């Protein structure tokens, strides 16, 4: 009897978003890890949706590992195209990815599901053109004391500013609007920054160890995320049992409210009183040497190759069971 051929995995990475460099790092790291895990790996790097679809259409891979961060790789468009082509791919489907990428839509679903999230107002390019954006942001600052201004559809803390005074509003809005036509003005929640990986495997939902994030200076911005040594990570986070329970409950509720599948990373703030506030859900989280999901997996005793193998296998099992990534709970 001939031995079964190794599973063929195509890794999709690159893109043309502000997170391209992160995607390149994630893709290269995953290619190496998947080879160690025993898969036949096909790297597919492209800088445009058309080129990526041409490459995936020709590929005979058994599963497509999505490592494209931002814009069309993470907002559901690529997932929808792959699903229409009948391709098996990793992680959540098009609907969940689109909802997670749109912070305004995410917040609406969080609220409907009873998931605690900071108060926010959304501004659009029309508000900017009419001159009303500055006034609305200033009103939010007056009401909440401190605010976060960020693009509605970007990740990796791209275009994010923490604003403490009216003099900072204009510059923060200009930065955020340079990345997106919709901008979120969000209440700043004092406390600890934590992140939780929600994990689905063989029909069970669990949590990987919680990480507490402590930047050495400033806040957890792009530089702090991707520059080794700029941030300290405590994993597992030093949480009291009641905090661990509330954090876990909020993370799973947020994951399910968007219809996420296989795995997601839920970012939140934890107040001094132990109340979690969900900031966002990441359906295609980073997979670089400094990324958070691999750190949580390592605390479980999983090497990077084991983490990648589990994501591939769980995604394939999900589709073969007839509950593909486009299915929402």
Which phi and psi (to 5°) does residue 57 adopt? -65, -35
Give the whole-angstrom CA distance, residue 39 versus residue 256.
30
Structure tokens, 133: 């954006």
Annotate 148-159 with three-state secondary structure.
EEEECCCCCCCC
Q: Hey, how many other C-beta atoms are within 10 angstroms of the C-beta on 48?
A: 12
Please, is 196 exposed, middle or buried when counting C-beta atoms within 10 Å of its C-beta (0-12, 13-18, 19+)?
buried
| β-pairing verdict for 192-201 and 211-215 | antiparallel
Task: Catalogue the active-site residues.
Answer: 19, 156, 226, 265, 267, 280, 282, 286
Q: Are 292 and 214 in contact (CB under 8 A)?
A: no
Beta bridge partners of 42: 10
- Please choose, from the candidates 127, 302, 126, 104, the residue with its C-alpha nearest in 3D space to the C-alpha of residue 197: 302
């Amino acid at each position: 009897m001939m031995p079964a051929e190794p599973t063929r995995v195509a890794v999709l990475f690159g893109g043309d978003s502000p997170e391209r460099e992160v995607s390149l790092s994630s893709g290269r790291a995953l290619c190496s890890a998947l080879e160690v895990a025993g898969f036949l790996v096909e790297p597919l790097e492209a800088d445009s949706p058309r080129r990526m679809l041409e490459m995936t259409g020709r590929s005979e891979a058994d599963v497509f590992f999505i490592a494209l961060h931002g814009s069309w790789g993470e907002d559901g468009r690529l997932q929808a195209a792959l699903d229409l082509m009948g391709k098996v791919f990793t992680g959540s489907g098009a609907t969940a990815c689109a909802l997670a990428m749109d912070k305004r839509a995410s917040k609406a679903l969080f609220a409907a599901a009873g998931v605690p999230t900071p108060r926010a107002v959304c501004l659009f390019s029309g508000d900017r053109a009419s001159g009303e954006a500055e006034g609305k942001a200033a009103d939010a600052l007056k009401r909440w004391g401190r605010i976060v201004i960020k693009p509605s559809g970007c990740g990796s803390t791209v275009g994010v500013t923490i604003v403490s005074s009216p003099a900072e509003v204009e510059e923060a809005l200009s930065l955020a609007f340079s990345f997106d036509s919709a901008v979120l003005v969000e209440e700043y929640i004092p406390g600890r920054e934590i992140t939780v990986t929600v994990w689905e495997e063989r029909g069970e939902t669990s949590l990987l160890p919680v990480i507490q994030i402590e930047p050495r200076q400033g806040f957890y911005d792009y530089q702090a995320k991707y520059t080794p040594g700029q941030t300290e990570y405590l994993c597992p986070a030093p949480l009291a049992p009641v905090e661990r329970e509330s954090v876990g409950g909020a993370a799973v509720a947020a994951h399910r409210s968007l219809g996420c599948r296989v795995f997601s990373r839920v970012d939140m703030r934890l107040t001094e009183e132990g109340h979690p506030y969900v900031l966002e859900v990441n359906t295609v989280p980073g997979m670089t040497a400094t990324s958070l999901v691999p750190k949580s997996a390592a605390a479980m005793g999983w090497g990077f190759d084991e983490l990648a193998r589990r994501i591939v296998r769980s995604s394939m099992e999900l589709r073969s069971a007839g509950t593909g990534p486009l299915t929402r709970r």
